[in-house]
Every structure is written in structure tokens, then in C-alpha cells.
Structure 1
């Protein structure tokens, strides 16, 4: 699906949150590879599950025509600095929800890009009538957990000993969900 682009100005940095387009595929391949190497907060180590430009191009094309998926990028004067993706489900029993994932280059942390990407994704989810947006976050990622809470996400569960990081220790993953704004409080 395609959304209307939004411009943000934070701490002197101007960037645009917009839908990904085919021309972004090469930058997205390099961006994801770099982001995966900059933090252990994500599922992949650098190089794992590598996607080349052709794979990103196909994913963007599929997401563009899907009413249940959304692929966003944070664009700083033509340079991609972050991305987010919502993946829905066509199965009838799960079609009311989508899962959110995000990645931002470390040099752009602190400019609200993750927040802006998530806010746009949440607005999209509400606008198309999705009942629920969910995500997973590493238990040690306190900043992200607080941000998600401020944007209406609540802890729904904990996946114990879910990830093993470079220190050899196991860490929990927190599952969070956000219900559609006009339905909050409904069960």
C-alpha cells in the first residue's frame, strides 16, 4: 500500500517518511545489511538473511499492491536512513492484524525516525481498519519499549530465552500490541 509522504524537521535534520519505491531497492539492501551490524536489537546478525536489490524490488512491488502490507522508508535528501514494514496476513482468522518491524541507521538515532515511522504505520493501520498492530522487542531495548508504550502499545507477553546474543547469554523478547484507536478498551 502507498501512503502520503510526510516531512519531519527534528534537531535541524529534515527527512521524509514515504512509501518505498522500486528505485529504493539497492539502498535498502545496503541499509539493512548495515543496520543489522550496528545493533543486537534485531533478529539478524550482519549478513544473515541477506536480501539483494532484486529481492527488495520484488518485496516493494508486492507490498505496494497489497492492502495488508506497508513498506516505509526514512529519506534524508535522497539517502535512506531507516525503514519500517508492516506485514499483514491474508488468512481470515488473522486478517485483522499486522506485524511491525523497524530499522534505523545508528548515525540517525535521536532524530525521531523510529517514532515517525511507527506513527505513520499506526495511522495507516487505523485508517484501513486493522484491529491490531503487533511487534517484538528485545527486553534490553528500554528506549524502544518506552517509545512503543507512549504510542499505545502494551506488553502482551514474554518469549523467554528467545535470543542468544554475542555475550553468549539468552535474552527475552517482549511481545507488544496496539489495538485500533477507536476500539481501545474493547475486548
Structure 2
């Protein structure tokens, strides 16, 4: 299923959600480093597991070629302000599901960008025959957890003391999943 560009206007901000293109690699590489440094909700600290421009180019090409992967960006027409990925597996026993991740520049929180990246990814998954979307979220990210539940995700588990944050304390990761409507998995 091909995702078509979607336009949004929220609180005076116009943005669009569209598939990532190879030309986005340089901006995405810098954006990821910036977002990783803005919040402790991400898995990485600023600069960790750095993905350079050729690395992002390859990731975008791979995601475009694999039917179980999707990379979307949110842009304002001037700059990319967020992106999301769904990544599936080539293994037959795992082929029914994808893992979802999202990040948005903190300056652009509150405009529904993360929500729209997720909604578009859910539509793609449902249209692509994917039965389950999974994600991990830090226990303190209450707004994200509430959004995920509102959009049909359920809490499936908790990874105890999974992340060490800047305050020197360990925090749990909440494991969530959403099954495609109309499909009952045993």
C-alpha cells in the first residue's frame, strides 16, 4: 500500500505527512541528533548510535523496498520536524507484525504531528495486511501512553528498570500493541 501525502493545519501550523525520500537523509540525520538531546523519552542520548547521511539514505531506500517497512516524515514546507518508522521482519513467524517508533522536535509538540504520523502508519499497516503494531514507551511519557490507548493500543507488559536516565534512576518501559480491527489473534 502506498501512502499519499496528507496536509494538516493545527493551531495555525501547516504541515504534511509524507513518505521519506532519499533527499531527506541529511536533514533527518541532524534532526535525529537534535531530538535525542531534547528529551529523555528517546532510547538514545544526543549523538549515540549516530546515523550519518549515507546511513539514512540506505535506511530510506531499504524501507521503500521492503513491504513490511515504512518511513514517514512530517514537514512544514521548510523543514522536517518529525519522523516515524515501522519496521517488520522477514522471518515468517514474525511477518504479521511491525514495530513503530516516532520522534518530533520538542518545539512542535502539541500540534498533533506524532498522532498523525501514527494514524498514517496504522492506515498503512491495516492496508498492508499487517495484523499487529507494537511499540515501547517510557513509563513517564503519560501523554503518549494516553494517546496510544485512545488509538487502540493496549498495554502488554512492562520492562522493569529498563532505562537509566540522567537523574541516575532506572525507569520502566511500557510495551504496547495494537491488533488490526476485525482480526482476532489467538
Q: Where does structure 2 lack aligned partners over 5 or more consecutive residues?
A: none
Q: Which residue of 2 aligns with 1:44?
A: 44
Give the match's secondary structure for 1:171.
strand
Distance 2:181 2:53 in 1: 36
Q: Distance in 1 between matches of 2:134 and 2:161?
A: 20
The answer (yes or no) to whether the contact 1:2–1:70 under 8 Å persists in 2 is no
Using the TM superposition, give the Cα deviation of residue 182 of structure 1 relative to its aligned residue in structure 2, in angstroms. Answer: 2.2
Equivalent residue, structure 2, for 1:143: 143
Aligned counterpart, 1:32: 32
Show the counterpart of 2:95.
95
The number of aligned residues is: 186
Quote the offset at 1:186 in angstroms.
4.6
Instruction: Kindly state the Cα deviation for residue 110 of structure 1 after the two structures are TM-superposed.
Output: 0.3
- Deviations 1:132-154 (Å, cap 9, x if unpaired)? 00000000000000000011000
Where 2:85 maps in the other structure, the secondary structure is: strand
Could you tell me which residue of structure 1 aligns to residue 167 of structure 2? Answer: 167
Give the structure-2-normalised TM-score. Answer: 0.98
Question: Structure 1: 5+ residue runs without aligned partners?
Answer: none
Show the counterpart of 1:108.
108
Shift of 1:77: 1.0
Match of 2:127 in 1: 127
What is the TM-score normalised by the length of structure 1? 0.97
- In 2, Cα distance between the equivalents of 1:11 and 1:182? 35
**Does residue 117 in structure 1 map to residue 120 in structure 2?**
no
**CA shift for structure 1 position 78:** 3.1
- Listed as ranges, the matches of 1:67-86 within 5 Å are 67-86=67-86
What secondary structure does 2:25 align onto?
helix
Q: How far, CA to CA, are the matches of 1:2 and 1:102 in structure 2? A: 19
Check conservation: 1:89, 1:95, Cα contact below 8 A: yes
Indicate conservation of the 8 Å contact 2:35/2:105, yes or no.
yes
Q: Secondary structure at the match of 1:119?
A: helix
Contact 1:97 1:132 in 2 (8 A): yes
Cα distance in 2 for partners of 1:181, 1:13 equals: 32
Contact kept, 8 Å, 1:2 with 1:64, in 2: the verdict is no
